[in-house]
Structure formats: structure tokens, C-alpha cells
Amino acid sequence: MFETPSIRLRGARPRVRDSGSLRPEEGGATPDLGSRLTSKARRMPSASAPSVRLPRPPLLEVTEHGLYCAAGDFHVDPWGPVARAVVTHGHADHARRGSRAYLAAPSGLPVLRLRLGRDARLEALPFGEERRLGDATVSLHPAGHLLGSAQVRIEHRGEVWVVSGDYKTDSDPTCEPFEAVPCDTFVTESTFGLPVFRWPAQATVLAAIDAWWRENAAAGRASVVFAYALGKAQRLLAGVDSSIGPLVVHGAVRACVDAYRAAGRALPAVHAATTLPRERLVRSLVIAPPSAQGSPWMRRFPGASTAFVSGWMHLRALRRQRRVDRGFVLSDHVDWPGLLGAVAATGAARVGVTHGYTGPVVRWLAERSGLDAWALPTRFTGEGGVEEEALEAEAPEEEP
Amino acid sequence: MRRFAALHRVLDEPARAGEREASLVAYFREAPAEDAAWALSFLTGGRPPRAVSAAALEQWAAEVADLPLWLVEASRRAVSDRAETVALLVAAVPREEREWPLHRLVVERLLPLAAATAEEKRSLLVATWRELPAAELLTFCQLASGTFKPGVSIGAVSRALAEAMASDAGAIAQRLAEPWTPSAAAFRSLSAGTVEEGAAARSYPFHLAAPLAGEPDELPGGLAAWRAEWHWAGARAQLVRREAGPLLWSRAGELITASYPAVAEAAEALPAGTVLDGQLLRWDDSAPRAEVPESARPSISYLAYDLLELGGVDLRSRPLDERRAALRELVASLREPRLLLSPLLEAASWQELRALLPEARARQAVGLLLKRRDSTYAAGREEGAWRKWSAAPLTVEAVLLYAQRGEGGRGSDYRDYTFAVWHEGELVSVAKASGGLPPREIEELDRWVRRHIVESFGPVRQLVPELVFELAFDAVEPSGRHKAGLVLRNPRVLRWLRDRAPAEAAHLAHLRARIPGAAGSVDGR
């Protein structure tokens, strides 16, 4: 019934399989991570496995700080301070401050620096390159969610797990495309894991945004778009027709644009609201975080038309609740067919489902695909959109 | 259908000021008359009979989309609307889209649906789902399942149509109040109302009462200069009887005649050239009314308290006493049980009147109205001529059960609340209210809400039932549409009762006892 989206399938397994001596790419000296065992990690059952091979402990477990790999003694996207964090991307519900060391994809580092602070110890692991952590071999693979967003592949004694983080299979010129990684166990997000979520063609949505902007510009009113400052905002900047008028960004968006540029991504020129004369402001497309809606910052754009850009705009109740003139459906998460296609492409027999509509996705995968599926608890429950947005508010908002 | 679905989306969802009106006008200018006729009918409340039950719609959508029913149900919980869930699910079905003119869709698909057998319904629906472009599915599913809501008032539709056709909105509204069958010819004739015709339909601007600040003793002229009557809790309306049939206009400028057929019929007895001001009330002695089926309930009467026009002569500049005397004479001559005179309250002192206030609730009034005997019927809220003397509000202690983000401010605070009381060991919602608390408490409550969400239904969050609030309200009315069987009129949050446990909140019986019918007294709506 559902067409399977095209997904780039990784032809080969990661390049290096045997090396336990992979050198860090940057950051120089990396101390022996094995010595950084927390008291919690010591309680982990890795050493207690007797010679009887049968019930192996799962490679990843949910602990009080989130997903933990005992074999490698690291957490994936921990929600509390830990010794070693492997971070999928810079959204506030995935990258939390306070851990002692972070490992992430190189193109995501400038954003992580912004989110985690000047003093955080960040280390880059290029996509596809293997790194030995404890007894586990770890590599990162593009998740297509935003620039530098990664899936985490973990291999231990021949068993392979992949943690998707947030991901999308749609194309996005501002980030590396999603890559399906073959694995035994796939941990997938499920933010939009219901069959009512099927994204309209991206080109159609962008054309609709352009048309709305053009109409507003012609009528002499600014077009204010509320979108998550990290990821969605940059995708919009790259996707709209910048010949219609100037592009204006809120300070929170500006910071992320700079981080993208620092990582080598070209984006169109953007302006601050304060630097444009009024006659140009009224022809502009303004991109601001959702928290700017109704804030004094908006007084700069009297009579503006407003829009919200998010996968949630697929639902009428949420469009009405947003109280904006337009709701455009553009998501950085997979929709239902995208999710099912991605799961199938990994070839995984076991699927852990997290972040979203876990119950329906687990049941569907078990009943329809005959997979061994289960739900993983998430700290940030409820609808990802709402939480993401609440956390977004923690990011700097005022213009510098 | 493409144009109508696009129009409906603008009307149904928030839009920039002026965009709704502009879209309506553009639609009526551009749409072919045979399509516009059906659009006009749907937008003014003439929805087609419910052809398919929502459950059947869901069942067939599950089959067509090859999804198990449990997954459709899980989807519906996220979407919080059945017709929309179905529209989103069937959009995934491979389709051969075609352009369906609205009138053909109605005549060939929607109307036959109602008369069809279950099997025919299924095949008609499935065929339509496969042919309609995805953007039109929601409007179609709403029309087919009888859940279509216009999202716009009849007045606004009339004004837009008048602008598009360069005709008169009042005349259009009046013609729309009569039964009509959608067709190109009917649409042309409806939209061609003249200014003269419109003038004959028009009501006068309402005279409004200002709240009584302080004590009545301070009112100029003393008691002798004032008239007192009950301030009824019903819906205020002007009853216009000119050459054409009687019309009822609400204070919001809407023509509401069709909702009160019995009153309209009784008003035929008025001489042409009469305009009354008064209140629509349900007089009813059979109690408790929550148990009386809707059809068996006595219908509504019109309680007149002012006469604005008689014999085609505008009386508004005459003093109240003179208008009132003429009104009494007029009503008495009619002997119509549905056209009554709002009685004056005789009192020798302000003190006597004050003593009446506690009775107001039982009489389905919210307090007293004081009107200066020499006052004219001026437009708006002329300072001092009419005063509202409100009775103390009723109160109830209720549990916070749901929250939704509110308007304004930073736009993301939870400030729309739904409250519930106990009934047979369960909490049933009885009132919705927004804000009402000091800003600091609203913020505190917002933070609490975020941490105590049990479940989400669209934008609505179900909460852990832990907090108790005191609500004020003006009256309790029976309602067949609410699960509790009643609804609170004008509820507002008075205070957060931090020391109350949820178990100490009120019971439904406490509210039922406050339905005026239950007390065996005058009742209204």
C-alpha cells in the first residue's frame, strides 16, 4: 500500500573492523576511557556473563541517564551528566550539558559547541570511521535530521546495534543524507509513527511558502515564519526562493546559521531585523523560533502575516491551536512510510522504538513485519514537537 | 470542490484579519452559480443529512488503507477528529484524481449516500476517496459524516455575498432565513437583494446597560426616577416585524429567526411596522429538565421589554415610560403565550429591591436592570441610562481535568482550563474557563500542567486530577449536548484552592439542584 521511500543503503560495513587502536581525529590526547568508569557502570552486568553463551545482555540498556552501552562504557544522548556521551545531534533533548566528554560527527560540532558551552570537551568522529570504546566498536552514520546528525552504530562480539537518533529520509540540502545501516537491532525514533503522518512533497510545500511570501511582499507586509531555530530554520533558508525579498532571522536562528557556516555549509545571506529599513522589512521572510510568537520582538513587524512550519501542522487541531495564518507541513523527522522503509532497509530483526508513538509502532512491527519490537522509555515523553519546542526556549533568544 | 475546500480551510483555521472576508468575496465572485449555491447552503448551516456514521467511515477507511482498526483508533486519538483521521488515512490510497465541481459532487455522491444501502455507501465513498485530491478529502468527509462546520457566521456570509454581487447584506440575510433549495437560479435570486429590501429587514443598534458601580442610592433622581425589572439570563434579541415575515436579530447582528420557529410564528400576529427589544427565554415548569427529551421540551418565549418602532414610526427618542406603556398595550392585545411582557418590579425603596437579588438565580435572571424612566433608546452603552445590578455569582469547587494552550501572551502557556465535578465516583467536565488567575499563578499552573500530563488529545492535555479551584458562574442550564447533562453559564476561575484535596470537590448533584427548573421556578436559556 505504501510506497517505500528511496533510501541510500550502505553497501559495505564500516571500513575498519579489527582495530582497537583507532586514533582520535581531532582534539589530540584522548585518555583511556576505560578508566572513566562511573560507579553506575561498575554495576553493569558485562563482566558477569559466564561461559554459557545463551542469554546475552542487551548491548544497550536504559539507565537513569538514558541509553547506556556497558560494553563500551558510554551513553548515547544521555539526559544527565555522564563520563562519555556519544551525541546524535544538537537539539536540546539530545545534547545535554554536563557530561565529561562528547563524541559527535565533525559537521555537528559547531552547533554542539553552541549548545554545550565553551568548556565542553567535544571530539569529532567522521562519518563511517570506526572508534574503539571499551570493548565496543562505534561509528557514526548520517541521519539526515540536520547538519551533522548521526546514527550511532555499535558493534560488540559480532552483534550490531544502530541507534537512529532523530532522522528523516526526505532530501535536505543542508545536511548529509540519511543512510540505512544494516544491523541486528535498530533503535528508531517514532515522533510521527502513525499512518496519518505522510508528508506532502517537499517541493510543493516550499512552493506554497514562496507563494505566500510573494503575496505578502506584494501587499507590503512581512512574512514571519516560526520554525525550530536549529535545523528547520536552515532548511527553510536553503529551500525558499531568496529572490522574493530579504531573509531576516531572529538571534537564536542567527547563532545556528553561523554554526552551519562554521561547519562549511553555504547558506543565503541573512539580516537582523534591526539592520533593515522598513521598506525592505515589509518584503522580507522572517524566521524566528516558536518562542518568539507573541513576544515583544514581534512588534518590529506590525501587520505581518505569520506561519508555523512543522510536521505537526499536518493536523488541523494543531494548526488551529497555533493561531498563525498558515501552517506548513515540513518535518525533519520520518513520516510513517519513511519509518517503515527505514526499518526494513536496516534488515534488523529486533527494533527498539523510542521518542513518540512507541506503542502503535511496536505493535505494527510485531504484527505486520514479524519483528521483535519493544518500546524504550524516553525522558522527553509526550509529543516530540511540544517538548522540543519547550526545550528550544532554553536556547538564546534575544538578538546579540 | 477544489475552490470550496480551499475556502473552507481559510474559514476553519486562524487567518490574518480580513483574509476570511476577502476569501469569501473572492469565492462568490469566481465560483459558478451552481456550485456557489451549495457553498452558500453549507456555509449558512444547511448541511446535508448525516449519510454515514463516523464509525462506518472509520471501518471502511481501515479496509481501504489496509490498516488494522486498532491503528486507526490510535491515529484518531492523536488527530482527535474522526473525519480528519479518515481523510488523512485514505489520502494514502493510490488515486486517480479528477476535478469534481461542487454541485456535481453533492448531487452525484453526497445526496445519494444518504439514501444508499450500506454496501452502496461503501462503494460510493471509496470511489470518491480515490477520485478527490487529498486537499479536498477533509471537507468531503466532514460533509458525508454530518460534522461539517461552516466556521463563519451567516452575517459574514451575507456581507461577503452582498459585496461580491453589489447587493444588500440585510436583504440577503433575510432571504437566507427562509427555506430555499440550492440551485443556480436560487443563488442568483438570493444574492440580488436590494437596499430597500435590506432596510425593511434591519434592526436597530442595541441599547446596552452599564454595570452599577457602587450603591443604587447614589443614582440621580432617587428610586422615583427609575424602573426596575429582572435582568434575564436568556439571549437578547430584537424582534422585527415589517412587511415581510418576522425576523429575530441577535445582539451580534446575526439573524437567528430559524432557531426560534415558535416565536417567529407567534410574531406573525404583530402589526407590520413593529420592532421589539427583549429576551428569548424558555418558560418551563416541568422539572428537572435534563431528563426531558429535547423534542418534548416546551419551546421558547420572547419576553419583550422595549418598543422601538410601532406603525412604522421610530419611537427610540421617546422616553422609556411612554414606550413601555405602548408596549404593554400592544402585548396585551396579542394574547400570544410566546410573546410576553417582562414585568416591572414594584418597590418602595432600594432596600426592597436589594432584597429581591437573591431570588434572581431561581428566576433564571442574573440580577436586576435599572432603567431611567425618561431615558431614550440610544445606540450603545449610553452612560447611566440603564444599569445592571448583578446578583452575587454562584460558585462551585471543581477539579482541573484538562488544559490547553491559550491565546495571547507568549502564546504557549496553558491557560484554557476544563473543570470537572464528581458523579458516581467519576469526574465529569462541567465548565471551561480561561485565565482568571493572577499572572504569577497562571505561570505556576502552566509549569504544573507540563509536568502532569496524562494523555494528549490533539491540543488538549488530560491532567492528573489533583488541583481544586473555585469557579464562579451565572447560572446552570440543562444541556443534552454535554455529558454532565448541564452547562454552566459564563464560568470563570475565582481562586486556586491549594488546601483542598480533589475528593473534596463538589458533586454533580450540587449543580443539578441549581438548575432553575429543579427549583420549580421560572426558567430560560
Q: Quick one: which of A221, A227, A314 has its CA closest to B13? A: A314
Decide if B412 and A367 are in contact by the 8 Å CB cutoff: no
pLDDT digits (tens, 9 = 90+) for B164-214: 998 888 788 878 877 788 999 989 888 887 767 777 778 888 898 888 877
Q: Quick one: which of B45, B48, B274 has its CA closest to B158? A: B45
Helix (H) or strand (E) holding A113: helix A109-116
The pLDDT of residue A235 is: 97
Higher pLDDT, B23 or A398: B23
Decide if A2 and B89 are in contact by the 8 Å CB cutoff: no
The pLDDT of residue B285 is: 42
Q: Give the closest of A321, A322, A325 to B19, CB-based.
A: A325
Q: Quick one: which of B385, B337, B387, B389 has its CA closest to B359? A: B389
pLDDT digits (tens, 9 = 90+) for B117-172: 989 999 999 999 999 999 999 999 999 998 898 888 888 899 999 999 988 887 88
Residue A146 CA to residue A331 CA, distance in Å, equals 11
pLDDT at A5 over 90: no
The pLDDT of residue A153 is: 98
Q: What are phi and psi of A287, to 5 degrees?
A: -110, 125
Long-range contact set of residues B209-214: C-beta below 8 Å, sequence gap at least 24: B209/B369, B209/B371, B209/B381, B209/B386, B209/B387, B209/B388, B210/B381, B210/B383, B210/B384, B210/B386, B210/B387, B210/B388, B211/B387, B211/B388, B211/B390, B212/B370, B212/B387, B212/B388, B212/B389, B212/B390
- Burial letters for B155-168: b for 16+ Cβ neighbours within 10 Å, e otherwise? bbbbbbbbbbbebb
The pLDDT of residue B203 is: 85
| Local structure of B414: helix, strand or coil | strand
Q: Give the closest of B15, B88, B93 to A325, CB-based.
A: B15
Residue A394 CA to residue A386 CA, distance in Å, equals 13
Residue A389 CA to residue A91 CA, distance in Å, equals 10
pLDDT at B97 over 70: yes
Task: Using pLDDT thresholds of 50, 70 and 90, give the confidence band for residue A400.
Answer: very low
Torsion of Cα atoms, B467 then B472 then B477 then B480, to 10°: -20
Nearest CA in chain A to B458: A317
Mean pLDDT computed over B62-72: 95
Q: Give the closest of A198, A322, A325 to B92, CB-based.
A: A198
Q: Quick one: which of B444, B506, B430, B507 has its CA closest to B475? A: B430
pLDDT digits (tens, 9 = 90+) for A232-285: 999 999 999 999 999 999 999 999 999 999 999 999 999 999 999 999 999 999
The pLDDT of residue B518 is: 53
The pLDDT of residue B480 is: 76
Q: Give the closest of B19, B91, B405 to A321, CB-based.
A: B405
Question: Which candidate in B10, B79, B136, B407 is best for mutational testing of the A interface (most A CBs within 10 A)?
Answer: B79
Decide if A194 and B71 are in contact by the 8 Å CB cutoff: yes
pLDDT digits (tens, 9 = 90+) for B326-357: 999 999 998 888 898 999 998 889 999 988 88
Q: Quick one: which of A174, A170, A219, A171 has its CA closest to A199? A: A170
pTM of the model: 0.72
Per the prediction, chain B carries an average pLDDT of 86
Q: Give the closest of B15, B88, B453 to A196, CB-based.
A: B88
- B303 close to B279: Cβ distance less than 8 angstroms: yes
pLDDT at A16 over 80: no
Nearest CA in chain B to A360: B71
Residue B285 CA to residue B230 CA, distance in Å, equals 19
The pLDDT of residue B522 is: 33
For A168, other C-beta atoms within 10 Å of its C-beta total 30
pLDDT digits (tens, 9 = 90+) for B240-260: 998 878 889 888 777 888 778
Q: What percent of chain B has pLDDT over 70?
A: 92
Residue B460 CA to residue B79 CA, distance in Å, equals 11
**Closest chain A C-alpha to B179 CA, distance in angstroms:** 32
pLDDT at A21 over 70: no
The residues with which B228 forms a beta bridge, in sequence order, are: B370
Nearest CA in chain A to B83: A316
3-state helix, strand, coil in chain A (%, to 5): 30, 20, 50
- A286 close to A297: Cβ distance less than 8 angstroms: no
Residue B161 CA to residue B21 CA, distance in Å, equals 10
Amino acid letter for position A233: A
Helix (H) or strand (E) holding A374: strand A372-375
Residues 6+ positions from B359 with CB-CB distance below 8 Å: none
pLDDT at A394 over 60: no
Q: What percent of chain B has pLDDT over 90?
A: 43
Residue A77 CA to residue A93 CA, distance in Å, equals 8
Decide if B93 and A1 are in contact by the 8 Å CB cutoff: yes
Q: What percent of chain A has pLDDT over 90?
A: 70
DSSP string, A265-279: ------B-GGGS-HH
Decide if B74 and A194 are in contact by the 8 Å CB cutoff: yes
Chain A hits for B21, CB-CB cut-off 8 Å, are none
The residues with which A194 forms a beta bridge, in sequence order, are: none
Residues 6+ positions from B346 with CB-CB distance below 8 Å: none
Q: Give the closest of A1, A318, A390 to B459, CB-based.
A: A318
pLDDT digits (tens, 9 = 90+) for A142-198: 999 999 999 999 999 999 999 999 999 999 999 999 999 999 999 999 999 999 999
* Cell numbers for A41: 557502570
**Closest chain A C-alpha to B501 CA, distance in angstroms:** 27
Question: Which candidate in A192, A196, A305 is best for mutational testing of the B interface (most B CBs within 10 A)?
Answer: A196
Nearest CA in chain A to B460: A317
Mean pLDDT computed over B95-100: 91
pLDDT at A388 over 60: no
pLDDT at B51 over 90: no
Chain A hits for B93, CB-CB cut-off 8 Å, are 1
Chain A hits for B16, CB-CB cut-off 8 Å, are 305-306, 325
- A160 close to A153: Cβ distance less than 8 angstroms: yes
Q: Give the closest of B16, B67, B84 to A316, CB-based.
A: B84
Mean pLDDT computed over B87-98: 92
pLDDT digits (tens, 9 = 90+) for A333-352: 999 999 999 999 999 999 99
Conformation bin of residue A273: beta by default, left when phi > 0, alpha when psi is -120 to 50: alpha
Task: Using pLDDT thresholds of 50, 70 and 90, give the confidence band for residue A379.
Answer: low
The pLDDT of residue A51 is: 42
Torsion of Cα atoms, A167 then A169 then A173 then A175, to 10°: 30
The pLDDT of residue A322 is: 81
Q: Give the closest of B15, B89, B410 to A294, CB-based.
A: B410
**Closest chain A C-alpha to B214 CA, distance in angstroms:** 37
The pLDDT of residue A11 is: 41
User: What is the set of domains in chain A, with CATH numbers?
Assistant: 56-196+333-394 (3.60.15.10), 202-328 (3.40.50.10710)
Chain A hits for B73, CB-CB cut-off 8 Å, are none
Name which of A95-109, A282-296, B107-121, B174-188 the model is least confident about: B174-188
Chain B hits for A322, CB-CB cut-off 8 Å, are 14
| Local structure of B120: helix, strand or coil | helix
Nearest CA in chain A to B408: A294
Between chain A and chain B, the number of residue pairs with CB atoms below 8 A apart is: 95
Residue A121 CA to residue A102 CA, distance in Å, equals 6
**Closest chain A C-alpha to B448 CA, distance in angstroms:** 14
pLDDT digits (tens, 9 = 90+) for B399-423: 999 998 865 444 567 888 999 999 9
**Closest chain A C-alpha to B210 CA, distance in angstroms:** 32
Question: Which candidate in A316, A319, A340 is best for mutational testing of the B interface (most B CBs within 10 A)?
Answer: A316
pLDDT at A9 over 50: no
Q: Which residues of chain B are at the A interface, by a Cβ-Cβ cutoff of 8 Å?
A: 12-16, 19, 65-68, 70-71, 74-75, 78-81, 84-85, 88-89, 91-93, 134, 138, 404-405, 407-412, 450, 453, 456, 458-459
* Cell numbers for A314: 499536518
Residues 6+ positions from B37 with CB-CB distance below 8 Å: B103, B182, B183, B184, B186, B187
* Cell numbers for A120: 565542553
The pLDDT of residue B500 is: 85
pLDDT at A48 over 50: no
**Closest chain B C-alpha to A109 CA, distance in angstroms:** 31
**Closest chain A C-alpha to B299 CA, distance in angstroms:** 35
* Cell numbers for B145: 459524516
Question: Which candidate in B69, B75, B460 is best for mutational testing of the A interface (most A CBs within 10 A)?
Answer: B75
Decide if B410 and A389 are in contact by the 8 Å CB cutoff: no
Mean pLDDT computed over A115-120: 91
Per the prediction, chain A carries an average pLDDT of 84
The pLDDT of residue B408 is: 46
Helix (H) or strand (E) holding B356: helix B350-356
Q: Which residues of chain A are at the B interface, by a Cβ-Cβ cutoff of 8 Å?
A: 1-2, 194-198, 200, 290-291, 293-295, 305-306, 314-325, 327, 337, 357, 359-360, 363-364, 367, 382-383, 389-390
Mean pLDDT computed over A25-33: 36
The pLDDT of residue B269 is: 92
Question: Which candidate in A213, A321, A381, A388 is best for mutational testing of the B interface (most B CBs within 10 A)?
Answer: A321
pLDDT digits (tens, 9 = 90+) for B466-495: 999 999 988 888 887 788 888 888 899 989
- A114 close to A87: Cβ distance less than 8 angstroms: no
Nearest CA in chain A to B88: A196
Amino acid letter for position B429: S
Chain A hits for B19, CB-CB cut-off 8 Å, are 325
Mean pLDDT computed over A380-396: 40
Q: Give the closest of B14, B67, B80 to A195, CB-based.
A: B67
The pLDDT of residue B383 is: 67
